[in-house]
Amino acid sequence: MKVVLIVIGIIIVVLINFVLYCCLRVASKTDQLYEKLSISEKEEQEK
């Protein structure tokens, strides 16, 4: 019984880490996209 609880706990921790990793990855991509957009808008305003 203890082994089953330990395995379930490990699986839950791995799943939470995977979800957080995916969220951070998507957030960094959108941040880079917004950064590119803001740079291109600044260049257009300077022209």
pLDDT in tens, 2-38: 999 999 999 999 999 999 999 999 999 998 888 888 8
- The reply to whether 4 falls in a domain is no
- The reply to whether 44 falls in a domain is yes
Q: Is 32 left (phi over 0), alpha (psi -120 to 50) or beta?
A: alpha
Q: What is the pLDDT of residue 9?
A: 97
**Counting every residue, how long is the chain?**
47
Q: How confident is the model at residue 46 (pLDDT cuts 50, 70, 90)?
A: low
- The reply to whether 26 falls in a domain is yes
Q: Count Cα neighbours of 24 within 13 Å in the Cβ-side half-sphere.
A: 6
Q: Six-digit token pair at 29?
A: 């991509």
Domains: count for the chain: 1
Q: What is the pLDDT of residue 47?
A: 60
The residue range of the domain holding 27 is: 19-47
- The reply to whether 32 falls in a domain is yes
